[in-house]
Amino acid sequence: MLVGAFACAHTPQLLARPETEDRELVLRVHAAFARVKRRLEALRPDAIAIVAGDHVEAFFLDAVPALAVYVGTECAGTFGRYRYRFPIHEPLARSIVEQGVERGFDLFYTQHAPLDYAFYVPLHSTMPEPPVPIVPLHESSEECGQQLPVASSAREAEAADEAGVQRPFADLGKLLKR
């Protein structure tokens, strides 16, 4: 079951904090991040599917997928002085790829694409305690979110994966456009 959906800023200045930034605005955004983190902790999700655009760090202009699903065991990246790693919720990631392909969705999957600041900035401030596995979705097309199939919960994806049964879909695109 989808338990929450949040839209978060990913501006690199939120971590780099140059003196030219409006300090009050940055503090308000960090307060909003804290509210999202508290909400995620209360919801206790099995996984966090995070959709972000790639800023020519994972994919260069000669090979830009409309949507790439990260399916490895762990993802990593760097941003300035920050080095970060996150575990991947593999059953949910595989479920998204498998069901997307079954529905004719043009998906790309990767095990090596680095995560850039569009993923890290929100995760840095909103990752619940204890940390939750993620499924990064690199997006480069407005059409991607319209019919993205996902299992209704990470637990269902794991159980279905073990039992070899069909997994339910959630129309994430419609949810995100509300």
Domain at 44, CATH number: 3.40.830.10
Q: What are the tens digits of pLDDT across the range 19-61?
A: 888 889 989 999 999 999 999 999 999 999 998 887 777 777 7
7 belongs to a structural domain: no
Which of 27-31, 65-69, 88-92 comes out lowest in average pLDDT? 65-69
Summary mean pLDDT of the chain: 78
Give me the pLDDT at residue 134, please.
Answer: 95
Residue 25 lies in a domain: yes
Residue 4 lies in a domain: no
pTM of the model: 0.74
Asked if the structure places residue 44 within a domain, the reply is yes
Q: Which domain holds residue 81?
A: 13-177
Residue 153's pLDDT is what? Answer: 46
Beta strands in the chain (DSSP E): 48-53, 67-70, 74-79, 82-87, 108-110, 134-139, 149-150, 170-171
Of residues 28 and 177, the one with the higher pLDDT is 28
Number of domains within the chain: 1
Six token digits for residue 155: 């637990």
Measure the CA–CA gap between 101 and 149, rounded to whole angstroms.
10
2 falls within a domain: no
Structural contact between residues 13 and 121, judged by C-beta atoms closer than 8 angstroms: no
**Candidate from 26-35, 94-103, 139-148, 164-173 with smallest mean pLDDT:** 164-173
pLDDT in tens, 99-117: 998 998 878 889 988 888 8
